[in-house]
Amino acid sequence: MMKTLCTIPVYNEDSKLIDLINQIKKYPYQNYNLDYLFINNGSTDYSAKIIKSNNFKFLNLKKNMGVGYALMLGYFYAKKYKYDNIVHLAGNGKMNPANIHQFLFAINNEGYDFVSGSRFLKGATKKNNPIYRIILIKFFSYFIGFWYKKKISDSTCGFRAFKVKIFKNFKKNFFKKELFTYGYEYFSYGKILNNRNVKFVEIPVSMNYPSKKNYTKIKPIIDRFIIAKYWIKGLNDKSEL
């Protein structure tokens, strides 16, 4: 049976972590041979203590290195311990662990290599997503899909799963300081869409923010510029995965 690692970057999420962990315990999916790896990214609150007290696998960083860096560590961990698939799950509770089985079904049973979540497909939900953000995401997704002739409904959803083996030159292509923040997620996504050998699909997921306030750590201007920059850079990068 294929082994799957679900990586969960965490930075100062103690107010949301307990609910997320309870959801994870409710949907363990032993049938999918699934492990969870929390990556405490230099939290200064009680996040690390909460993770340790619940006996999950975890990596503890002394300072915040960026979400991209944390996800890369998850990849290296999966590679080292011979996992077949990786799932990315946010530490702030906006993504529902109950959706994980849909990603793994698409990979293990339908033969997809890279599965990305969408809050806009039929059956998805997007509670407390700000209207302005929904408009921006739809506009950018339309632009990406039109320009590159790909069917993309949600270009910024970080809820995804993929086969470890699709990346042949991971360290060379991605382990760069410029990608340590949000750049990695979107640069890698762009490269995936640019690769004809990767079988890709979107599936409906829940992207429900816990509240309308403090729903994201993304800075409105700087980080959105980074997202757009590396999305486009990835789409134009012709190097091998």
Instruction: With a cut of 70, say whether residue 217 has pLDDT above it.
Output: no
pLDDT tier, 223 (very low <50, low <70, confident <90, very high otherwise): low
Look at residues 79, 81, 83, 72 and name the one whose alpha carbon lies nearest to residue 39: 72
Question: Which three-class secondary structure state does DSSP give residue 192?
Answer: helix
pLDDT tier, 216 (very low <50, low <70, confident <90, very high otherwise): low
What proportion of the chain, given as a percentage, has pLDDT over 90? Answer: 67
Phi and psi angles of residue 183, each rounded to the nearest 5 degrees, phi first: -60, -40
Report which DSSP code applies to 125: B
Q: What is the mean pLDDT of the chain?
A: 90
For 35-73, how does the pLDDT look when each residue is reduced to its tens digit (9 = 90+)? 999 999 999 999 999 999 999 999 999 999 999 999 999
The mean pLDDT value for 173-180 works out to 94
Please say whether the beta carbons of 204 and 122 come within 8 A: yes
**Per-residue confidence (pLDDT) for residue 232, from 0 to 100:** 77
Instruction: With a cut of 90, say whether residue 124 has pLDDT above it.
Output: yes
**Per-residue confidence (pLDDT) for residue 146, from 0 to 100:** 81
Residue 113 corresponds to which tokens in the numbers above? Answer: 């290599």
The mean pLDDT value for 110-128 works out to 96
Q: What is the largest CA-CA distance in the chain?
A: 48
Distances (CA, A) of 234 to 5, 8, 181: 24, 23, 15
What proportion of the chain, given as a percentage, has pLDDT over 70? Answer: 92
Q: Which CATH architecture has domain 4-236?
A: Alpha-Beta Complex (3.90)
| Torsion, Cα of 129, 135, 138, 144 (10° steps) | -120
Question: Which three-class secondary structure state does DSSP give residue 183?
Answer: helix
Q: At what angle do helices 222-236 and 183-193 cross, to 10 degrees?
A: 30
* Of the candidate ranges 9-18, 40-49, 67-76, 204-213, the one whose mean pLDDT is the lowest: 204-213
Q: What are the residue ranges spanned by the domains of the chain?
A: 4-236
For 135-163, how does the pLDDT look when each residue is reduced to its tens digit (9 = 90+)? 888 988 888 788 777 889 998 899 999 99
**Per-residue confidence (pLDDT) for residue 213, from 0 to 100:** 60
